[in-house]
């Protein structure tokens, strides 16, 4: 026990292997009441397996997990929601209030609204989860964990899809939980957030606990060094220069509209550019990407690709024209987790590997091996199912899949979601090299530091429209937020 209070969770000498791959080695630590503990580490460091052992979803090879009868709830990195059930039904799934065998649906709705009020978001309890944008699905996951009234809450990358204001609301709730004697395990790749909200930090590297100490004792650079076992001197590559704006654009969008979501969208994107797209949740960023890729119907306006007018009615048409898309929700829209790593990599370009109706598996394996080396994907073999890879390695596989169609335009929606610091740098380098080769890149991102580090020009969306374009000295976090929130700066 520590000054924080009694021990709620005790992990002793925990070990776990998958086949010959050792994932956890002799993990020992305690979680005390009224404490927020941050767990950080590279993708593949063992964080997810540790969480699964704590939740009794995976049986360790040796060691013990003792929670002393405490209820544990979890916010998972990959959504654990039933898409065809309502928001309220998801929040109370497995813990439904009932009377005489009948669901108390009114109580479910009222309690769901109560949790959303705490989070200061407006989401209908009756809405189907599949109809929600990704940011609201994240809020449903958080509300679900809060409603369980657990003593221990595990939060795995809960702020990845939240803007600054939403993250601060989440932190306020975490502080309330701590004050009430409850405890939180907070897993995040945002190291500044970990130092801000956590009391202690636990660092895993290659399945080994390499640090357990008070928050703030290590600065972010030292945290990274201990996570990866080496120095990372620079996070972002040198930004690409702005292209010659007199040259014809690769992608030209003029007055695009889609339903009630998007209206009057106009912009140009040139080869060799990394153009940023910012905006708050619900601003229409992802909907714009989906419209450009044929996932949503374009009702008004025009799109030109290399000077030729196009109107994609499905993703296949977009891919054939050389437009790749990395969606923000990779597990539901970007990859097939029950397919192997190699199969996922060639999923969008499979016809190139076929002859007389037969897949040429030798070519598939050869190409997969190239991408595994290039992206430094950690996997026991090409045949490993993607569900067994870490989130960062799944993301790299999705990037390789998009690259294998030889795109002229690559649209990235939250490209580093759930990805550790070292893997983030790999992805930044990939995007930069892609632009250097002449590919036109559109980068949608909630992380303003990421946009400023990668882009010289940023479009900002608000209420389904382009609220403004920023570059040069005007490209700052403050100016992005003025446009994203719809607040007009008063003239001094």
Which tens digit of pLDDT belongs to each residue from 73-82? 888 877 778 8
If you average pLDDT over residues 430-451, what whole number do you get? 91
pLDDT band at residue 440, thresholds of 50, 70 and 90? very high
pLDDT of residue 1: 36
**What residue spans in the chain does CATH classification 3.40.50.300 cover?**
7-228, 251-485
Alpha carbon distance 489, 389 (integer Å): 46
Assess whether pLDDT exceeds 80 at residue 306: yes
* The CATH fold of domain 251-485: Rossmann fold (3.40.50)
Statement: residue 490 has pLDDT above 50: no
pLDDT at position 3 is 44
Instruction: Report pLDDT for 135.
Output: 78
| Predicted local distance difference test score (pLDDT) of residue 2 | 41
Name beta bridge partners: 217: none
Query: pLDDT tens-digit profile of 178-231?
Result: 998 999 999 988 888 899 999 999 999 889 999 999 998 988 878 888 887 765
- Determine the pLDDT at residue 333: 66
Does 48 score more than 90 pLDDT?
Answer: no
| Average pLDDT of the residues of the chain | 87
Mean pLDDT of the 278-299 span: 90
Of these ranges, 125-129, 161-165, 238-242, the one predicted with the greatest mean pLDDT is: 125-129
Q: Give the angle subtended at the CA of 228 by the CAs of 8 and 222, to the nearest 5°.
A: 75
Residue 398 in this model has a pLDDT that exceeds 70: yes
Residues 6+ apart with CB under 8 A from 213: 200, 201
Q: Which one, of 72, 53, 73, lies nearest residue 13 by Cα? A: 53
Chain centroid, CA 22 distance in Å: 26
The residue ranking higher by pLDDT, 374 or 369, is: 369
pLDDT in the model for residue 145: 86
- Mean pLDDT for the stretch of residues 249-259: 95
Lowest mean pLDDT among 32-36, 73-77, 89-93: 73-77
Cα radius of gyration (the chain)? 23
Structure confidence at residue 159 as a pLDDT band (50, 70, 90):
confident
pLDDT at residue 303 in the model:
96
How many Å apart are CA 117 and CA 109, to the nearest integer?
A: 12
Distance between CA atoms of residues 340 and 40, nearest Å: 27
**What's the CA gap between 427 and 425, in Å, rounded?**
5
Residue 488, pLDDT > 70, answer no
| DSSP states of 385-405 | BGGGS-HHHHHHHHHHHHHTT
Neighbours of 441 (CB within 10 A): 25
Whether CATH 3.40.50.300 fits 7-228? yes
């Amino acid at each position: 026990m520590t000054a924080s209070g009694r021990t709620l969770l005790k992990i002793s000498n925990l070990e776990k292997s998958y086949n010959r791959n050792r994932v956890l080695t002799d993990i020992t630590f305690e979680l005390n009441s009224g404490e927020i503990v941050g767990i950080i580490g590279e993708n593949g460091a063992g964080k997810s397996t540790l969480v699964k052992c704590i939740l009794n979803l995976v049986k360790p090879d040796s060691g013990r997990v003792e929670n002393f009868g405490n209820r544990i709830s979890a916010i998972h990195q990959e959504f654990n929601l039933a898409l065809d059930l309502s928001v309220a039904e998801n929040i109370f799934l497995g813990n439904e209030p009932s009377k005489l065998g009948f669901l108390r649906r009114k109580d479910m709705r009222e309690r769901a609204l109560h949790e959303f009020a705490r989070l200061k978001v407006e989401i209908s309890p009756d809405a189907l989860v599949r109809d929600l944008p990704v940011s609201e699905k994240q809020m449903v996951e958080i509300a679900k964990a809060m409603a369980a009234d657990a003593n221990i809450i595990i939060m795995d990358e809960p702020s990845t899809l939240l803007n600054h204001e939403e993250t601060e609301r989440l932190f306020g709730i975490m502080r309330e939980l701590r004050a009430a004697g409850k405890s939180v395990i907070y897993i995040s790749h945002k190291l500044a957030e970990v130092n801000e909200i956590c009391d202690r930090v636990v660092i895993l590297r290659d399945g080994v606990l390499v640090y357990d100490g008070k928050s703030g004792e290590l600065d972010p650079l030292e945290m990274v060094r201990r996570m990866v076992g080496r120095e990372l001197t620079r996070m972002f590559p040198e930004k690409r220069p702005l292209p010659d704006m007199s040259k014809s654009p690769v992608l030209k969008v003029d007055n695009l509209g889609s339903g009630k979501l998007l209206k009057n969208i106009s912009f140009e994107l040139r080869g060799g550019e990394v153009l940023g797209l910012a905006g708050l949740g619900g601003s229409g960023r992802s909907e714009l990407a989906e419209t450009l890729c044929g996932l949503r119907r374009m009702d008004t306006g025009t799109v030109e690709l290399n000077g030729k007018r196009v109107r994609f009615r499905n993703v296949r048409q977009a891919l054939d024209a050389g437009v790749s898309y990395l969606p923000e929700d990779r597990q539901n829209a970007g990859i097939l987790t029950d397919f192997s790593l190699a199969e996922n990599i060639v999923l969008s370009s499979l016809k190139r590997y076929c002859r007389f109706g037969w897949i040429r598996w030798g070519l598939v394996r050869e190409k997969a091996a190239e991408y595994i080396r290039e992206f430094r994907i950690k996997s026991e073999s090409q045949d490993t199912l993607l569900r067994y890879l870490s989130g960062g390695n799944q993301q790299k596989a999705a990037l390789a899949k998009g690259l294998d169609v030889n795109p002229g335009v690559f649209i990235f929606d939250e490209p580093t979601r759930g990805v550790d610091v070292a893997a983030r740098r790999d992805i930044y380098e990939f995007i930069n090299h892609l632009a250097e080769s002449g590919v036109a890149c559109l980068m949608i991102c909630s992380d303003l530091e990421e946009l400023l580090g990668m882009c010289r020009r940023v479009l900002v969306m608000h209420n389904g429209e382009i609220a403004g374009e920023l570059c040069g000295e005007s490209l700052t976090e403050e100016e992005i937020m003025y446009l994203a929130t719809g607040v007009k700066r008063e003239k001094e």
